[in-house]
Amino acid sequence: MTQNHCATEDQQGFKLVRVSGEVDLSWSQRLRKTILDALATGRPVAVDLSQVTYIDSSGIAALVEGFQNARGKGQRFNLVAVSKPVHAVLELARLDRVFPIFANLDEANK
Amino acid sequence: MTLPTAVSARDRSIGAEEVGILADFSHAFAATLDIDETLRRAVAQIAEYMNAEAAAVFLVDEDGSSVCRASAGPVDVVGLRVERGKGIVGRAIAENRVQLVRDTTRDPDFLGNQRGFLSRSILSAPLDSANGPIGALQVLNKRDGALFDTHDADVLRLLAVPTALALNNARLSRELVEQNRIKREFQLARQMQKTLLPPRRRDLPIVAMNLPAREISGDFYDYFEVDDGRIAFCVGDVAGKGMDAALLMVRASSCLRWAGKDGATPGVWLSRVNQELCETVTRGMFVCALVGYLDRNTSQIELASAGFPPLLLYRDGRFREIPADGPPLGILKDTGYDAQRLALAGGSLYAFSDGVTDVRGPDRRPIGMDGVRDLIKRVAGVSPRARVRAMVGHLRKLALADDTTLMLLADDDAPTRYLGGMGGLSDPQNLCLVRRAVSDIVVGLGFNETERQRLVLSVDEAVANVIRHAYGGSIDGRVELSFWLDPGAVRFELRDFASPVDATRIRPRDLSECRPGGLGINLIDSVMDEWTFLRPDGGGNLLRMVKRLP
Which backbone phi and psi does B205 adopt, to 5 degrees?
-85, 40
By C-alpha distance, which of A61, A51, A53 is closest to A88?
Answer: A53
Q: What is the pLDDT of residue B12?
A: 57
Tell me the CB-side half-sphere exposure of residue B381, using CA atoms within 13 A: 5
- A22 within a domain of the structure (yes/no): yes
Cα(B328)–Cα(B320) distance, rounded to whole angstroms?
22
How many structural domains does chain A have? 1
Measured between beta carbons, which residues in chain A are less than 8 angstroms from residue B457? Answer: 54, 56, 89, 92
Closest by Cβ to B461, choosing from A22, A56, A98: A56
CATH of the domain at A85: 3.30.750.24
Cβ neighbours, 10 Å, residue A32: 19
Find out whether B176 and B43 touch, Cβ atoms under 8 Å: no
Domains, chain B, ordered by start: 16-173 (3.30.450.40), 197-410 (3.60.40.10), 417-548 (3.30.565.10)
Bridge partners (DSSP) of residue B123 are: B100, B139
Give every residue of chain A whose pLDDT is below 50, as ranges: none
- A15 within a domain of the structure (yes/no): yes
Render each residue's pLDDT in chain B as its tens digit; 550 residues.
333 333 333 445 666 677 777 787 777 777 766 778 878 888 998 898 889 999 999 999 888 899 999 999 988 889 999 899 888 999 999 999 999 998 888 888 887 777 777 888 899 999 998 888 999 999 999 988 888 988 899 989 988 988 888 888 877 888 888 888 888 888 888 888 788 888 888 888 899 998 887 777 788 899 999 988 899 999 998 887 677 778 888 888 889 988 888 889 999 999 999 999 888 877 778 899 999 999 988 888 999 999 999 999 998 888 999 987 789 998 888 889 999 988 888 889 999 988 888 888 888 888 888 989 999 998 887 888 888 988 988 888 887 777 889 999 987 665 677 888 999 999 999 999 999 999 998 987 888 899 999 999 999 999 999 999 889 888 899 999 999 988 788 999 999 999 888 777 777 766 555 556 678 888 999 999 999 998 888 889 999 999 998 8
Q: B425, B430, B432: which to substitute to probe chain A, counting the most A Cβ within 10 Å?
A: B432
- A81 within a domain of the structure (yes/no): yes
Q: What is the pLDDT of residue B208?
A: 93
- A110 within a domain of the structure (yes/no): no
Altogether, the residues listed in chain B come to a count of: 550
Q: How far is B489 from chain A (nearest CA, A)?
A: 21
- A42 within a domain of the structure (yes/no): yes
Q: B426, B451, B453, B457: which to substitute to probe chain A, counting the most A Cβ within 10 Å?
A: B457
Question: Which DSSP string corresponds to B468-488?
Answer: IIISTT-TT-EEEEEEEEETT
What range defines the domain where residue A31 resides? 5-105
A89 and B516 in contact by Cβ < 8 A?
no
Q: What is the pLDDT of residue B13?
A: 63
Cα(B28)–Cα(B527) distance, rounded to whole angstroms?
92
B94 in A contact zone (CB under 8 Å): no
Sheet holding A14-23, edge to edge: A5-11, A14-23, A45-55, A77-80, A101-102
Please identify among residues 7-66 of chain A the ones whose CB lies closer than 8 Å to any CB of chain B: 22, 24-27, 54, 56-58, 60-62, 64-65
Q: What is the pLDDT of residue B9?
A: 38
By C-alpha distance, which of B138, B139, B44 is closest to B89?
Answer: B138
Cα(A89)–Cα(A84) distance, rounded to whole angstroms?
9
**What pLDDT, in 10s, does the model give residues B171-191?**
788 888 888 888 888 888 888
Characterize the bridge pairing of strands B135-142 and B122-127.
antiparallel
By C-alpha distance, which of B113, B421, A69, B200 is closest to B209?
Answer: B200
Q: What is the pLDDT of residue B463?
A: 95
A56 and B431 in contact by Cβ < 8 A?
yes
Cα(B528)–Cα(B542) distance, rounded to whole angstroms?
16
Sheet holding B530-534, edge to edge: B417-425, B478-486, B489-496, B541-548, B530-534
Q: What is the pLDDT of residue B8?
A: 37
CA distances from A29 to A17, A64, A68, B35 (A): 14, 13, 16, 106
Query: For residue B408, what are the contacts with CB-CB under 8 A and spacing of at least 6?
Result: B206, B207, B208, B348, B349, B350, B351, B384, B387, B388
Cα(B299)–Cα(B418) distance, rounded to whole angstroms?
10
